Homo-oligomer: A and B are copies of this chain.
């Protein structure tokens, strides 16, 4: 590895000048700067990040905290890949690299964050999969590290966050169901403690109240966000005395199992049960009948997350004067056939 010292020796100038030339500092002659850059290119010099970090306490990297594990509910590769693409697109403008930090299923998330912060390998963090009570946020708030959360939390809101508009998804869905004549509407929540569950539930209840529909606890179902979970939910639903005529799926990966279980009884989605799912992922576009869902640009979301984070970091603030720090991320509904039938039927 060629160091700045090698460069200096090769050019017969001091390492200070070399450093200044490489970093576009003012106090250096134009010709010598040219020579330095030329030589750096020739010898294949590239700054050692450890040395730089040690000196100026900065790493030129941003961390994206995710939870790994093959059976991670809801958060498929797809979701993260899209967001990552957006993040990089924005971060690369500032020559910042993105490090994805996967918290193993074996490790306590709070511990993991502590370790990663202590490692000092990033200048800022984006955390995902926020829980209603999220100790990571507590810790990060106390630490000096800038961060932004994908998802709100009850733990504290004195930090930038971007949250998908789950409230809107539930509201729009229920309103649509009601408009089409449904009065008995179920909701399928995920079986983990992610904060989005409580937001969904609250919005669901509020919407029912707005339409003067009584809340029935038995219509709030909970299962894993996958095929099996959807199957279980459909099963539970079919066993109810007073069956619902519509259901909102908090994660549409459940839809597969739901379609499957209904088909077993000769029931068809859209005719016998109205379904709206969240969110319009690639996999979910191939249901038959097609699933009414909500559109979400993961790339744009990633870009917004990066912008939000950078606008809290002094070194980058100038580029993000007018940007919002925190925001609710709106999503549009995409019409499908799964809630097309206007006249509600009972599952008989």
Binds B, one of A27-35, A94-102, A185-193: A94-102
B101 touches A115 (CB 8 A): no
Scoring A81, A263, A283 by chain B CB atoms within 10 A of each residue's CB, the highest score goes to: A81
| Interface of chain A residues 103 through 128 with chain B (CB within 8 A) | 104-107, 115-116, 118-121
B99 touches A85 (CB 8 A): no
Whether A85 contacts B101 in the complex (CB less than 8 A), given A54-B54, A77-B78, A256-B286, comes out as: no
A81 touches B72 (CB 8 A): yes
Q: Quick one: which of B53, B69, B100, B102 contacts A50, CB cutoff 8 A?
A: B53
Closest partner residue, chain B, to A285 (CB atom): B227
Which residues does chain B contribute within 8 Å of A298, judged by CB atoms?
70
| Interface of chain A residues 186 through 223 with chain B (CB within 8 A) | none
Provide the bound-state CA to CA distance between A227 and B97, in Å.
Answer: 32
Q: Quick one: which of B53, B77, B85, B115 contacts A77, CB cutoff 8 A?
A: B77
Provide the bound-state CA to CA distance between A76 and B82, in Å.
Answer: 10
For the complex, is A160 an interface residue (Cβ under 8 Å from B)? no
Q: Quick one: which of B54, B78, B107 contacts A72, CB cutoff 8 A?
A: B78
For the complex, is A79 an interface residue (Cβ under 8 Å from B)? yes
For the complex, is A317 an interface residue (Cβ under 8 Å from B)? no
A92 touches B106 (CB 8 A): yes
For the complex, is A266 an interface residue (Cβ under 8 Å from B)? no
Provide the bound-state CA to CA distance between A285 and B299, in Å.
Answer: 28
B288 touches A260 (CB 8 A): yes
For the complex, is A84 an interface residue (Cβ under 8 Å from B)? yes
For the complex, is A11 an interface residue (Cβ under 8 Å from B)? no
Closest partner residue, chain B, to A70 (CB atom): B82
A21-62 CB mask vs B (1 if < 8 Å, else 0) is 000000000000000000000000011111101100001010
Closest partner residue, chain B, to A99 (CB atom): B99
Which residues does chain B contribute within 8 Å of A53, judged by CB atoms?
50
Which residues does chain B contribute within 8 Å of A327, judged by CB atoms?
none
For the complex, is A180 an interface residue (Cβ under 8 Å from B)? no
Q: How far is the CB of A193 from chain B (nearest CB, A)?
A: 19
For the complex, is A141 an interface residue (Cβ under 8 Å from B)? no
Whether A78 contacts B84 in the complex (CB less than 8 A), given A48-B54, A54-B50, A120-B50, comes out as: no
Q: Quick one: which of B61, B115, B260 contacts A97, CB cutoff 8 A?
A: B115
A49 touches B121 (CB 8 A): yes
- Identify the A interface with B (CB < 8 A): 1, 46-51, 53-54, 59, 61, 68-72, 75-82, 84-85, 88-89, 92, 97-102, 104-107, 115-116, 118-121, 226-227, 253, 256-257, 260, 263, 282-283, 285-286, 288, 298-299
Pull 23 A–B residue pairs with CB atoms less than 8 Å apart, ordered by A: A46-B118, A47-B118, A48-B54, A48-B120, A49-B50, A50-B53, A50-B54, A50-B59, A68-B85, A70-B82, A70-B282, A76-B78, A76-B81, A88-B102, A88-B106, A89-B104, A97-B119, A98-B102, A99-B101, A99-B121, A227-B283, A256-B283, A260-B288
